[in-house]
Structure 1
Amino acid sequence: MKIKDCYDNTRAHRAAAVREFLDAEGVQQMSWPTCSPDMNPIEHAWDALGRAIKERHNIPQTLQELAQALTEEWDALPTDNINKLVDSVPRRPNALIRVRGGHTRY
């Protein structure tokens, strides 16, 4: 299995122990811009989950109900959509550089 990890420049992600562990495990590392959570594809997944939860007939009232609803909605996300988000990861930093930190299509 091929694993990629996107990390920003926070101290925890720069720690030698973390880098050595990821190298030893064969995890390909990809630098990620700091302060750019909008560039992270998981934000699109969270948005889809939030919209799906709001559209439910029975909105979760407890943490347990919310956890169950999130699990159900995550399982219902189309695999093609998730794959497209993952496939877009390598293009995102270059798009951000091209617009000098401005708005991108992501």
Structure 2
Amino acid sequence: MVKHPYKVHVWGAFCRQGPIGVALFTENMNSAKYREILQSQLLPNAYHAGYGWNFQQDNAPMHTAKLTHQFFVINNVPVIDWPANSPDLNPIENLWAILKGNVERRVNNWVMKKKSLGANDFQGIIQQEWDNIDKNLFFSLADSMSDRINMVIENNGYTINY
């Protein structure tokens, strides 16, 4: 794996029907940045999820901040209460692993061709790989939630391999 000198954060959301939004940014995430992304990516695109959708997020500090909670209330965003330390119940974790692998392959190919990889090139690769995710993957990850929940229940609440 080729190391790159660029720090890029990726926020993404999806539903059964496909991607809802993605944001690439270089600054650190905080509650203000998180709300800015939700405003620009989630709110205008959440209709893709259809009627009766719920927003799932982990318990990172910027997600549970008072101003973030107020943002959700003001904008009528239904947020699921989520247990701490439960990445096995968060299907986007699987998506991040796939995206990371695809980006790493592209970066390695880029560097093997002796091309210089700039920050814009790196962000472009991330965006292209997000755009190239098969729509069926979004469906299968969203659809896996009932199985995941049942497996955790059968495992008495302990972590599962998913």
* Structure-1-length-normalised TM-score: 0.71
| Structure-2 residue corresponding to 1:101 | 158
How do 1:1-106 residues align onto structure 2 when only pairs under 5 Å count? 1=47, 2=50, 3-9=53-59, 12-56=62-106, 57-59=109-111, 61-89=117-145, 92-99=148-155, 100-104=157-161, 106=162
| Structure-1 residue corresponding to 2:12 | none
1:86 to partner: Cα distance = 2.7
Q: Which has the higher helix share?
A: 1
Unaligned runs of 5+ in 1: none
Distance 1:74 1:4 in 2: 22
Q: CA 1:77/1:13 → structure 2, altered by over 3 Å: closer, same or farther?
A: closer
Q: Deviations over 1:20-39 (max 9, x none)?
A: 43133221111122122343
Distance 2:62 2:138 in 1: 27
CA RMSD of aligned residues (A): 2.7
> Share of identical aligned residues, percent?
27
One-letter code aligned to 2:110 = N
1:16 to partner: Cα distance = 4.5
Distance 1:102 1:93 in 2: 11
1:72 to partner: Cα distance = 0.7
* Structure-2-length-normalised TM-score: 0.51
Q: CA 1:16/1:91 → structure 2, altered by over 3 Å: closer, same or farther?
A: farther
The answer as to whether partners of 1:33 and 1:93 remain within 8 angstroms in 2 is no
The ranges of structure 1 where at least 4 consecutive aligned residues each deviate by more than 6 angstroms after the TM superposition are none
